[in-house]
Amino acid sequence: MVVLRLIGVLVLIGIVGAIVLYLFTRNRRYLTFAWRLFQFAFVFLLVFLALYLLERLVLVV
């Protein structure tokens, strides 16, 4: 779980950093990067939760 928290914090820092860079430079590639990073993190979270649920279901049976 520590690794997941670390990944979450790093993703959050990356997204906030990209948005701050967009605000300073007005370059839309930073917004694109922030959006892609969010999408990747969301898919990673869904896969992790599905595997966690599958593990719980297997342990019950």
* Total domains in the fold of the chain: 1
pLDDT of residue 61: 74
- Could you tell me which residues come within 8 angstroms of residue 7 by beta carbon, excluding any fewer than 6 positions away? 41, 44
Report pLDDT digits (tens) over 2-53. Answer: 999 999 999 999 999 999 999 999 999 999 999 999 999 999 999 999 999 9
pLDDT of residue 14: 98
Q: Which has more confidence, 33 or 60?
A: 33
pLDDT of residue 52: 93
Q: What is the pTM of this model?
A: 0.86
Q: Are 41 and 11 in contact (CB under 8 A)?
A: yes
| Complete DSSP assignment for the chain | -HHHHHHHHHHHHHHHHHHHHHHHH--HHHHHHHHHHHHHHHHHHHHHHHHHHHHHHHHH-
Could you tell me the residue range of the domain that residue 51 belongs to? 2-60
